[in-house]
Amino acid sequence: MVFGCLVAVGAGLDVAALASEGHAELDTTAVAAAVAIPVAALLLAIFTQYSLLMGAFDTFHLLLVATALALLAASVGAAGGGAPLWAWLGLVVAAPVAVIVGFETIGHRHQQARLGELGA
């Protein structure tokens, strides 16, 4: 699932590149969705896999997922509002960055505690 999502992200970025060169027949909102939806699927796949591997669901991940999905929705909304490619694509990039920052500042402690419970 994760690898398929990565391929879809690459395809979405290809669509964005074609659109920036004027070779796409999609409107800006559709181009932004072609990038944002696969990124959302990738993040959800990663969180699902993490929860399955840890044998527990961490509620802190709900905040991380909600933040990431809000940024992705904002990117599509910004594209629909006429924002340039760099602006809405920056919001797409901010979604996984927010997850990384959240995990590195707080989430790693939750993982450490869970691994302690498992005796790992």
Query: What are the tens digits of pLDDT across the range 18-37?
Result: 999 999 889 999 999 999 99
Give the whole-angstrom CA distance, residue 80 versus residue 74: 10
Residues 3-9 have a mean pLDDT of 95
Output the furthest CA–CA distance in the chain (Å, rounded). 56
CB 11 within 8 A of CB 33: no
CA-based nearest residue to 80, from 34, 30, 29: 29
CB 68 within 8 A of CB 120: no
pLDDT at 26: 92
What is the b/e burial string over 24-35, where b = at least 16 CB atoms within 10 angstroms of the residue's CB? beeebbebbbbb
- Which residue bears the tokens 């602006």? 87
| Per-residue pLDDT at 13 exceeds 80 | yes
CA-based nearest residue to 47, from 34, 33, 36, 58: 58
Please state, as a whole number, how many other Cβ atoms lie within 10 Å of the Cβ of residue 94.
17
- Calculate the average pLDDT of the chain: 92
| Per-residue pLDDT at 90 exceeds 80 | yes
Give the whole-angstrom CA distance, residue 114 versus residue 86: 39
pLDDT at 120: 62
Q: Is the pTM of this model over 0.85?
A: yes
